[in-house]
């Protein structure tokens, strides 16, 4: 019961404070972290969703194909 309560508080506080840490242009850490100003990955936030999901789709397709051919691959 106590762990459930603490888990709910953790989720709630994480939801409320997420922009402090991951918000675009957040200055929460200030100069605590060394960051490259020529970062190309900041534009990845604005890519279309289908481009963002492409690695997941390819990984799932390959894993299903390997699973389908597993009997052929490991039969000696």
Q: Please tell me the predicted confidence (pLDDT) of residue 14.
A: 85
pLDDT, tens digit, 9 for 90 and up, residues 17-75: 877 666 666 666 666 666 666 666 666 777 888 988 999 999 999 988 888 887 776 66
The residue among 58, 56, 25 whose CA lies nearest residue 42 is 25
**Terminal alpha carbon distance of the chain:** 53
pTM equals 0.44
Answer for the pair 45, 24: CB distance below 8 angstroms, yes or no.
yes
Please, what is the Cα angle at 31 between 25 and 34, to 5 degrees?
90
């Amino acid at each position: 019961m106590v762990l459930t309560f603490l888990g709910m508080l953790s989720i709630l506080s994480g939801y409320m404070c997420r922009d402090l840490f991951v918000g675009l242009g957040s200055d929460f850490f200030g100069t605590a972290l060394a960051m490259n100003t020529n970062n190309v990955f900041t534009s990845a936030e604005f890519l279309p969703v289908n481009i963002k999901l492409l690695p997941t789709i390819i990984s799932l397709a390959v894993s299903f194909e390997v699973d389908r051919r597993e009997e052929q691959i490991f039969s000696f």
